[in-house]
Amino acid sequence: MAEINGEYKPDFKKALLVGNYLHSFFESPEAHQKFIDENKEDLLSKRKPHGLLKEYKDADKMIDTLKDDDGFKQLYQGDKEVIVTGQIDDVDWKGKVDCLNLDRGYFIDLKTTQDILKEYWNSEERIKESFVAKWNYQLQMYVYQELIHQTFGVWCEPYIVAVSKQDVPDKAIISIPNERLTEAELLIEREQPHIEDVRHGIVEPERCERCEYCRMTKKLGTIVSMDDLIQ
């Protein structure tokens, strides 16, 4: 809410630029060149010989890992960067699909991650989970699947093509089981009314005390036990 109200502006620029650098390459040569031309000051080092910054050299490694892979080239066929819109429980949603193949009934979302096989601990469920579950990408895939159906009248299978940021990038084609999509649907059904109430000022937002905004605006007052520092 602080961001929506203009009270706080998170600095996601570098992460977004790296992601868009990779996405634009697989959109088209023209889109990639346009992206480079429009963002030269952020992509290139200020020091001679003014080459690409390390983040974008690493992105080139990820690009090379995918573009020369026959399986990826066969799968990544369809319309690129497709805008889809619709409603979920009477709330407007909008998305941009990286690659949509209506004829073959699937869509693909490109994801970069530290390590595809890295395990994350879910303290609420007390289980280890993948990066897909950690960042709740199954919810995004459910939303895209629903919006594609509303926009084009076709049910499509979601896939994530993941590539890692390691020195030698790993890669994988990842499916989303139906039960995970159902979980995402139920999560939206359960949480969206509260989010809408907060967004429209009906309910006050709650602080998480973990994000950058909460750290910036935190005031000392309460005392925390050492046993409560880790949740």
Please report, for the chain, the start and end positions of each structural domain, with discontinuous segments joined by +.
1-68, 79-206
Given a cut of 90, whether residue 149 has pLDDT beyond it is: yes
108's tokens: 């693909």
User: 């990842």: which residue's tokens?
Assistant: 174
Given a cut of 80, whether residue 224 has pLDDT beyond it is: yes
Given a cut of 70, whether residue 36 has pLDDT beyond it is: yes
pLDDT of residue 79: 98
Given a cut of 70, whether residue 97 has pLDDT beyond it is: yes
More confident residue, 140 or 212: 140
pLDDT of residue 23: 94
Mean pLDDT of the chain: 93
pLDDT tens digits along 163-203 = 999 999 999 999 999 999 999 999 999 999 999 999 999 99
pLDDT of residue 45: 79
Output the DSSP codes for the chain.
Answer: -TTTTTS-----HHHHHHHHHHHHHHH-HHHHHHHHHHTHHHHB-SSTT--B-HHHHHHHHHHHHHHT-HHHHHHS-SEEEEEEEEEETTEEEEEEEEEEETTTTEEEEEEEES-TT--EEETTTTEEE-HHHHTTHHHHHHHHHHHHHHHHS---EEEEEEEE-SSS--EEEEE--HHHHHHHHHHHHHHHHHHHHHHTTSSPPPP-SSSHHHHHH----S---GGGS--
Q: Which of 140, 159, 167 has the alpha carbon at shortest distance from 64?
A: 167
pLDDT of residue 229: 86
Q: Let me know the angle formed at the C-alpha of 28 by 22 and 34, rounded to the nearest 5 degrees.
A: 75
- Determine the topology of domain 79-206 in CATH: Lambda Exonuclease; Chain A (3.90.320)
Q: pTM for this one?
A: 0.89
pLDDT tens digits along 48-79 = 766 888 899 999 999 999 999 999 999 999 99
Compute the average pLDDT of residues 96-100: 98
Q: Which of 46, 66, 45 has the alpha carbon at shortest distance from 160?
A: 66
pLDDT of residue 157: 99
How many CA atoms within 13 Å lie on the side-chain side of 108?
23
